[in-house]
Amino acid sequence: MVISYLTVEITLQQFRESKQAQRYINLTSTLKIVPICLFFLVFRIIIPLIRYLCALQSAQINKTNMRIKSGIIILLCICLSQTVFSVEPIYSFPIPAKMEFAGQTISLERYDMRERFDREQIVIAFNHSTSMLIIKRANRLFPIIEPLLKQNGIPDDFKYLAVIESNLDIRAISGAQAAGLWQLMPKTAQQFGLEVNDEVDERFQLEKSTLAACKFFKSAYIKYKNWTTVAASFNAGMGRISGEKENQQVEEAFDMLLTSETSRYVFRILAMKQFLENPKAFGYIISRDQFYQFINTKDIPVKGSVADWTVWAAQHGISYSQLKDFNPWLRDRMLTNKTGKEYTIMLPDKEDFKFNPSKIKIYNPAWVTF
């Protein structure tokens, strides 16, 4: 049995706590073979191998093949004795005493509030691939979402609701058929003015779906006068939240016994807010040239029917795939448009197709590490 010592050297540097506090952990681990291991290697492996090779030599086996085999075996032994492992750090993050959401201070001092927040913080921090994509997508989408929220009197923090709904994937579709950035259900989308049919689904249109979400938020705020309850109702529905408020005799969604998904919902928003305000504090390192550049577009009005979007795209110098990439709300290969409604097609600027780091604009400097 091979006996080894694992030498772990940990260097932890923690800056003073501030709004932009950063924590870095540098952990390296090296596996070193101690003398008893070398003893085992020599007397249990190498010496028997030498004896075996000598036997082969006495049997007049080809010396060249024997030397090749012995060289490979010795090289393998050397590699084993110099094995080095890198161990990734796994550590817990501080839990804040309170969080701000839409102008409301939310205390996390109560045991369940603290633990529910910590659960979502851990999930976000260690879901590396998705969280990294969210940062990069936010750099492109937040500049569009934030002004729309402001124009409609919705608190800026509601942009984090879009993040947890779809991971900022405009094309996202759930198993329940909720779709788009805000994951609107078909009936809810139609209730708030969106067109949803086999040819056109405006839940996939960024600006229009955001305006529809704003209408929902306004309607819910008139009913509840509380933004955290508004956020919870976006997940559970206003009917469910109103019913539970009456049945359980509580005002805050935090105090209601709800489904697991809805109980976690607002805490996911709070944890995502903390994460996106300072990803570096969670170990996410991104350089400026690793972000996605913004693709400029121009609007083309379409008032009539379109027999084939592939032909239409070719006439405007792009492929069908590129047309759908910038207009995911087009759900069919044609557009009937019997009412003569005017639609706006976004046509990408082909000059922006080639990656150019100089065109990258960073929306939040806290996202860039170097």
Residues 284, 288, 294, CA angle at the centre, nearest 5°?
110
> How many domains are there within the chain?
3
Indicate whether 16 belongs to any domain. yes
pLDDT, tens digit, 9 for 90 and up, residues 227-265: 999 999 999 999 999 999 999 999 899 999 999 999 999
Model pLDDT, residue 53: 57
pTM for this one? 0.78
Q: Is the dihedral of CA 325, 329, 332, 333 positive or negative?
A: negative
Indicate whether 150 and 209 sit together in one domain: yes
Q: Which among 215, 191, 188, 189 has a CA at the least distance from the CA of 202? A: 189
- 279 DSSP 8-state letter: G
pLDDT of 141 over the 80 cut:
yes
Indicate whether 122 and 239 sit together in one domain: yes
Torsions phi, psi for 5 (to 5 deg): -110, 135
Indicate whether 244 and 321 sit together in one domain: no
pLDDT, tens digit, 9 for 90 and up, residues 102-135: 999 999 999 999 999 999 999 999 999 999 999 9
- 327 DSSP 8-state letter: -
- 105 DSSP 8-state letter: E
pLDDT of 47 over the 90 cut:
no
Asked if 31 and 79 count as a contact pair (C-beta separation under 8 A), the reply is no
Indicate whether 286 and 330 sit together in one domain: no
Indicate whether 145 and 246 sit together in one domain: yes
Model pLDDT, residue 91: 83
pLDDT band at residue 45 using 50, 70 and 90 as cut-offs = low
Indicate whether 107 and 229 sit together in one domain: yes
Residue 202 class from Cβ within 10 Å (0-12 exposed, 13-18 middle, 19+ buried)?
Answer: buried
For residue 8, list its beta bridge partners: 29
Torsions phi, psi for 335 (to 5 deg): -135, 115
Indicate whether 207 and 192 sit together in one domain: yes
Model pLDDT, residue 29: 37
Indicate whether 341 and 252 sit together in one domain: no
pLDDT, tens digit, 9 for 90 and up, residues 269-328: 999 999 999 999 999 999 999 999 999 999 999 999 999 999 999 999 999 999 999 999
Indicate whether 330 belongs to any domain. yes
Indicate whether 22 belongs to any domain. yes
Which of 264, 290, 316 finishes a domain? 290
Which of 81, 106, 135 finishes a domain? 81
Q: Which two tokens stand for residue 278?
A: 């300072």
Q: Is the dihedral of CA 39, 43, 44, 45 positive or negative?
A: positive
pLDDT, tens digit, 9 for 90 and up, residues 57-93: 555 555 556 565 666 666 655 655 555 455 667 888 9
pLDDT, tens digit, 9 for 90 and up, residues 190-203: 999 999 999 999 99
pLDDT, tens digit, 9 for 90 and up, residues 264-285: 999 999 999 999 999 999 999 9
pLDDT of 49 over the 70 cut:
no
pLDDT of 25 over the 90 cut:
no
Indicate whether 180 belongs to any domain. yes
pLDDT, tens digit, 9 for 90 and up, residues 336-359: 999 999 999 999 999 999 999 988
Indicate whether 195 and 105 sit together in one domain: yes
Q: What is the mean pLDDT of residues 23-49?
A: 47
Indicate whether 91 belongs to any domain. no
Model pLDDT, residue 12: 32
Indicate whether 34 belongs to any domain. yes
Q: What is the CATH number of the domain that holds 242?
A: 1.10.530.10
Q: What is the mean pLDDT of residues 179-197?
A: 97
- How many angstroms separate the CA atoms of 207 and 73, rounded? 65
Indicate whether 93 belongs to any domain. no
Structural domain for 338, as ranges: 297-354
Which of 290, 325, 342 finishes a domain? 290
Model pLDDT, residue 59: 53
For residue 13, list its beta bridge partners: 24
Indicate whether 195 and 327 sit together in one domain: no
Q: What is the mean pLDDT of residues 32-38?
A: 46
Number of C-beta neighbours around residue 86 at 10 A: 8
Residues 323, 339, 184, CA angle at the centre, nearest 5°?
60
Model pLDDT, residue 72: 61
Indicate whether 86 belongs to any domain. no
Indicate whether 47 and 126 sit together in one domain: no
Residues in contact with 282: Cβ distance below 8 Å, sequence separation at least 6, in sequence order: 93, 124, 125, 131, 275
Asked if 346 and 322 count as a contact pair (C-beta separation under 8 A), the reply is no
Indicate whether 348 and 251 sit together in one domain: no
